[in-house]
Amino acid sequence: MFAAVVNAQQTQIMEFSEPFAGYAKTLINQPQEIVGTLINSKPTKNQSDIVHAQHHLILARAYYNLAYPQKSLDHAQSALSYVSEKQQAWLYHNCKIAESDALELIGNPMQAMDGVNAAITWAEHNKHPKMYLQALYSRGIIQTSLPDYVAALSDFQESYSLASIDPDELNKAHVATMLAQVYEYRREYQLAIPFYEEAVAAHRLHKADLNLSIALYGLGRANRGIGKVELGKAQLQESAELAEKIDDLQGVGYALKELASIDMLEKNYIEAEVKLKKAASIFAQANNPQMNFIFMMLLTELALETNKTAKADIYFQQAKALFNRNEMSIHATDYDVLQARLLFEQSHFQAAYKILEQAFERHKELQNAESTGQLHQLRSRFEMQLAQQENEVLSQKNALQQMQLKNEKTQNMQLILSTAFATIICGLLGIMVFRNKVHKRKLVKLATRDDLTGLYNRRYALTLLEQQMSLATRYATNLCIAMLDLDFFKEINDSYGHVAGDKVLREFALLCRESLRESDVIGRIGGEEFLLILNHTTSKDAFKVLDSLRTKMSELSQKAGLPEAKVTLSIGIAQYEQNDNLENFMLLADTALYQAKNNGRDRVVVYERNNTIETSS
């Protein structure tokens, strides 16, 4: 991928030095071999910081490709300990991208965003296309995890247009797999399949078995999703065989799980049970609640198919104990449908109907029509751009051939004309790219932001809260939320008019941006009501942050041009516990907010589960 620049400590390098340049070329297809080599050839203390940083960076990327996020993060941060942005900007930003990749894989996508955004900015400014592509691709993966499918699709489409077909680099086949996954996560299988097929063809051509196994797994699932069961089954079987060949046991387990589901559809219950047990044994050592839940669901379904209702109930109760609707939202519809089916088999018809009715409403909320429309607009525009690019290339080739045949004696004029033509084309393309980027930003803002204040809107703020609750549950981290309400806001509107009221809201949003921490997330969820998410924060620390914000409200009247008005703020805080769902968690903060209002407003109240309340005013 990259070559060397000599003179380690003083010279700013812009490429890997040897032997790391060679390792970088084999990272994608042979990460296990790279780990073995580097673990056994650690740099000596006498070698430069740049050598140590490159050593840890290559290890971080190799462990990421092997899906070991903590090891990847440890090595990325070790690499960063040897370099600074001022001393080695290119190497530093590569390390930050590796750190961001690992953070996303661990489950901290919001924390990962700053590193890739900084790398994108640096790569654009310094005209480094390879780093720009890598950072853009990484940001797309992070956006998928948030989840923000519109932004993810935008990043992957740009990555696809920039990527090459070089099998030793991040190429179009890798990006195609991620484009397919965006659509597959939304169960839009027809849109996913062409991208999976492209990835399969490329990886097969280059004998990249690990990536081929992954792409075949996705393609098999997608074909099964559109009813092409036999085709999907063959692709999943090939995925399992490839994974077993390269000793990717988890890949074998995932493929067997899907094959068992197909066996159940075809009423091959004995074969399904054999596959499920084999896959379960592979995942047994992983201690993964989500995979255990999936297997309990499949065993419940298998028992129902074989008319073993009592056994099905036992399996379902185990699945129920593992199920977390916020953390496992992708499985929620399947869970509800299976529960309704079990209730039906137990003759609880009314309860079964109610479960299905609720499931239908939840599914409609997940498949937000506005988001779908934006995704499809981006997809259509992307396809048109690709077609236009191909047509432009063909047209330019034909024009050049004709010019060469007809004007051999006027080469100097050809050069002038060609240069002018290229300049015009580049200018037009630049305008198109700029307009496209502006439009993409508008689409993302439309989907996530409140028009008046520029803060997150209610829908997106609640999506982010569900994600943070899931992460807090998974990694046992602290999480607080606060409900904020501007006191007597109706009186401001009545006395000074709605234009003045809007000015107050905008100034309050600006005050929040200036006063709150960078990691805090705030959204407008009602007229004068706001939701603040404080991750990795205890209620005691949240109290300090918000009481400081409350005291700054005295400045707001002057800034809004209403010196006679007194604008104050009431705040209710709640700290997350493992068993809280979204509704209950917000209710706790609402209860604290009500207490703040009831106690005279202009104060902060913390909801304490032992029924004691902390306040300030």
What is the C-alpha to C-alpha distance for residues 219 and 179, in angstroms, rounded to an integer? 12
Backbone angles phi, psi at 616, to 5 degrees: -150, 155
Min mean pLDDT across 397-401, 561-565, 612-616 is at: 397-401
Strands 604-607 and 569-575: parallel
Tokens of 485: 């309400």
Whether 573 has a pLDDT exceeding 60, the answer reads yes
pLDDT tens for 58-75 read 999 988 887 777 889 999
Average pLDDT over the chain, rounded to an integer: 82
Residue among 247, 218, 271, 284 at smallest CA distance from 31: 247
| 314: three-class secondary structure by DSSP | helix
Strands 604-607 and 613-616: antiparallel
User: Phi-psi category of 67—alpha, beta or left, where left has phi over 0 and alpha has psi -120 to 50?
Assistant: left
Q: Comparing 167 with 283, which gets the higher pLDDT?
A: 167
Min mean pLDDT across 165-174, 226-235, 393-402 is at: 393-402
Q: pLDDT at position 284, please?
A: 61
Tokens of 11: 């010279």
Confidence of residue 563 (pLDDT cuts 50, 70, 90): confident
Q: pLDDT at position 372, please?
A: 54
Confidence of residue 367 (pLDDT cuts 50, 70, 90): low
| % residues pLDDT > 90 (the chain) | 39
Confidence of residue 374 (pLDDT cuts 50, 70, 90): low
Q: Where are the beta strands (DSSP E) in 520-597?
A: 521-524, 529-535, 569-575
Q: pLDDT at position 559, please?
A: 85
Tokens of 172: 């179009």
What is the C-alpha to C-alpha distance for residues 162 and 174, in angstroms, rounded to an integer? 12
Taking the CA atoms of residue 222, residue 223, residue 229 and residue 232 in that order, the dihedral angle to the nearest 10 degrees is: -90
Tokens of 82: 């040897």
Tokens of 15: 């490429």
What is the C-alpha to C-alpha distance for residues 120 and 554, in angstroms, rounded to an integer? 39
Q: Comparing 244 with 388, which gets the higher pLDDT?
A: 244
What is the C-alpha to C-alpha distance for residues 178 and 163, in angstroms, rounded to an integer? 13
Q: pLDDT at position 322, please?
A: 83
CA 581 vs CA 38, 420, 576, 578, 589: distances in Å = 45, 63, 9, 8, 13
Tokens of 478: 């602290």
Min mean pLDDT across 263-272, 410-419, 515-524, 567-576 is at: 410-419
Q: pLDDT at position 203, please?
A: 92
Confidence of residue 172 (pLDDT cuts 50, 70, 90): very high
Confidence of residue 328 (pLDDT cuts 50, 70, 90): low
Q: 492 with 554: CB under 8 angstroms?
A: no
Question: What is the pLDDT averaged over residues 559-583?
Answer: 90
**Chain position carrying tokens 């070329």:** 25
Q: pLDDT at position 329, please?
A: 62
Q: Give bridge partners of residue 521 from the DSSP assignment.
A: 533
Give the pTM.
Answer: 0.53
**Chain position carrying tokens 């996020």:** 69
Buried b or exposed e, range 319-338, using 16+ CB within 10 angstroms:
beebbbebbbbebbeebbbb
pLDDT tens for 86-121 read 999 999 999 999 999 999 877 678 889 999 999 999
Helices 269-283 and 249-265 cross at an angle (nearest 10°) of: 160
